[in-house]
Amino acid sequence: MAGHGSTRVILTALAANVGIAIAKFAAAAYTGSSAMLTEGVHSLVDSTNHVLLLYGTKRSRKAADTIHPLGYGRELYFWSFVVAILVFALGAGVSLYEGILHLLHPEPTSNLKIALLVLAVAAALESWSTWEALRAFNGANAGKGLVRALKDTKDAPTLIVLLENAGALAGLAIAAAGIGLAWWSGNPMWDGVASVLIGLVLGGIAVMLIVEAKGLLIGEAADPALVEAIRACAAGHAGVTTVHEVLTVHQAPDMVVSVISADFDDGITAREVEQTVRDIEAAVATQFPIVTRVYVRPLDPSAA
């Protein structure tokens, strides 16, 4: 999922947002709408974020070396955290600033039909991007409900695209309502109110992204089902009497490191223990390709 699937999702979102940003800024200049300008900034920030995610995805695939012996997978989570900060600082911050400025110094708007038309086109493009992201996300989380899948996912890029798109669609609806009310009532302050509300929506989404990216950057365990499957795989080898801890941590969405602590039959030789350890490591690597590194630690029962 962190490979071609996520890359396609990011590229789709990038293409949609670049087109949307250009249209929104043109409409903002033509109509003088604060909400439309806010939406333009929103799409520009999203486009920048997608470029950063593509960069992080590429960097995360760099081979392990002596400096980073477990690989560069977590670099993807670092750039995801940067993206979350940008959504908060630029997306939400600029939206709130523009909205408050427009409320304090309201200016008349014109040609609002053009603004509403641009918002409709933007909604269509955002819906296309969201559909692609949902299709990829559901394919990787079959059998889970959407809320549970969003909570458990380790695929930060797709999660970011989904939440950003949700914020974008909400922002488009708010902008359309604000522009529509300003047009209907003749009061331009509705335009500023819409900008403030968009900023609050973006701020909420940014906080969610920051919390999720922080957890992944620190290191989150693999899905409990995978942990138990690894445990069963290790326990099924001759000479293993007890499997104690099975520690896992995601280095990237499709990179897991696992450490298995196990007790071995006292009647087997040290050479047989070494061979069993190699067999377990090979079996785990074969059965679970997502586990890129696995280490087996023989454990004295008295130390368990």
What SS3 class is residue 257? strand
Number of domains in the chain: 2
Claim to verify: residue 187 and residue 242 sit in the same structural domain: no
Question: Which of 200, 218, 236 is the C-terminal boundary of a domain?
Answer: 218
- Count of residues making up the chain: 304
The pTM is what?
0.82
Tokens, residue 223: 């899905």
The last residue of a domain, from among 218, 234, 249: 218
Q: In what order do the strands lie in the sheet with 255-264?
A: 240-252, 255-264, 291-298
Kindly state whether residues 170 and 39 are assigned to the same domain. Answer: yes
Same domain, 185 and 240: no
- List of the chain residues with pLDDT < 70: 1-5, 142-143, 300-304
Q: Are residues 209 and 244 in the same domain?
A: no
What count of other Cβ atoms lies within 10 Å of the Cβ of residue 106?
A: 16
Each residue of 183-231: pLDDT tens digit?
888 888 898 899 899 999 999 999 999 999 999 999 999 999 999 999 9
Other CB atoms closer than 10 Å to residue 100's CB: what's the count?
15
Under DSSP, is residue 291 helix (H, G, I), strand (E, B) or coil? strand
| CATH number for 140 | 1.20.1510.10
Residue 297's closest CA among 241, 243, 239?
Answer: 243
- Domain, as residue range, for 231: 224-303
CB 32 within 8 A of CB 114: no
At 1 the pLDDT is 42
